[in-house]
A and B are shown apart, each in its own frame.
Chain A
Amino acid sequence: MNIFRLAGDMTHLMSVLVLLLKIHTIKSCAGKSYPCSLCFILLESSSGISLKTQELYALVFATRYLDIFTDFISVYNTIMKLIFLGSSFSIVWYIRRHKIVRRSYDKDQDTFRHFFLVLPCLLLALIINEKFTFKEVLWTFSLYLEAVAILPQLILLQRTRNIDNLTGQYVFLLGAYRALYILNWIYRYFTEPHYVHWITWISGLVQTLLYADFFYYYFSSLKNNVKLKLPA
């Protein structure tokens, strides 16, 4: 474990916490007769969270962590896997089933089809993998799918004119997590013998590049001290 990997995992964890915080705020705002301004913003506008992306992440973790009971790496790994599995499925549950959270979800804007991402990733995983076994193909599938799972969210952000702070932070933290993982791979490549994982690296690089555009607007909004807005 190096500092880049740890920092990457922590930003990933923070992104999940930001999302759970947002859901919690939406829940607790409802029913108040005089909502605070944050409640007002969250309840009156759509949440800006893409259910499609969240469902894809749940699928990513479900297929990647099949080894949770068979291969033991460390207590840290097992706990983190449980956290990511549990949080991704509960976020999906909240957006689909919780009556208040569901109301803040803008279904008409979030129109991306899962199918267009899942099928090519599955085919690619069947063709390009390190070992043709059930677990390994699904692990590879999860890498390919994770690389593109943010697309529905980025498209939704571009459509939603009003990006609230928490949604912006969420996407930023996810992007930071990917960038830190690249630093982790570079570090491991030079410090560990035989550390080569081409499939992980290339899909991870593609994933990080998808955030480039968002990062550009995120940092310029910080620099100019204005609210984050993506061009139409």
Chain B
Amino acid sequence: PHITVEHDEL
């Protein structure tokens, strides 16, 4: 599965 790289933390 495709992993989206999301950075919503600090």
Q: Does the CB pair B3–A80 fall under 8 Å? A: no
Choice from B1, B3, B9, B10 contacting A130 with Cβ under 8 Å: B3
Interface string of B1-10 (1 = CB under 8 A from A): 1010101111
Residues of A within 8 A of B3 (CB): 130, 196
Contact with B along A60-89 (1 / 0, CB 8 A): 000000010001011001001100100000
B contact residues around A130 at 8 Å (CB): 3, 5
Q: Which of B3, B5, B8, B10 has the most CB of A within 10 A?
A: B10
Q: How many Å lie between the Cα of A227 and that of B5 in the bound state?
A: 45
Decide if B7 touches A67 in the complex (CB within 8 Å).
yes
Partner of B10, one of A71, A80, A131, A136: A80
- Please determine whether B7 and A81 come into contact, CB atoms closer than 8 angstroms: no
- A139 CB contacts on chain B under 8 angstroms: 7
CB distance from A146 to the nearest CB of B (A): 11
| Chain A residues, CB < 8 A from B8 | 73-74, 77
- In whole angstroms, what is the CA distance A88 to B5 when docked? 26
Chain A contacts for B9, CB-based, 8 A: 5, 181, 184, 200
Chain B residue nearest to A13 in the complex (CB): B10
Closest to B3 in A: A130
Q: Which residue of A lies closest to B4 (CB)?
A: A194
A12, CB-defined interface residue at 8 Å: yes
Does A106 sit within 8 A of B, measured CB to CB?
no
A-to-B contact residues, CB < 8 Å: 5, 9, 12, 67, 71, 73-74, 77, 80-81, 84, 130-131, 136, 139, 181, 184, 194, 196, 200
List 20 additional contacts besides A5-B9, A131-B5, A139-B7; criterion CB under 8 Å: A9-B10, A12-B10, A67-B7, A71-B7, A73-B7, A73-B8, A74-B8, A77-B8, A77-B10, A80-B10, A81-B10, A84-B10, A130-B3, A130-B5, A136-B5, A181-B9, A184-B9, A194-B1, A196-B3, A200-B9
Contact sample, A vs B, 11 pairs, CB 8 Å cutoff: A9-B10, A71-B7, A73-B7, A73-B8, A74-B8, A77-B10, A84-B10, A131-B5, A136-B5, A184-B9, A196-B3
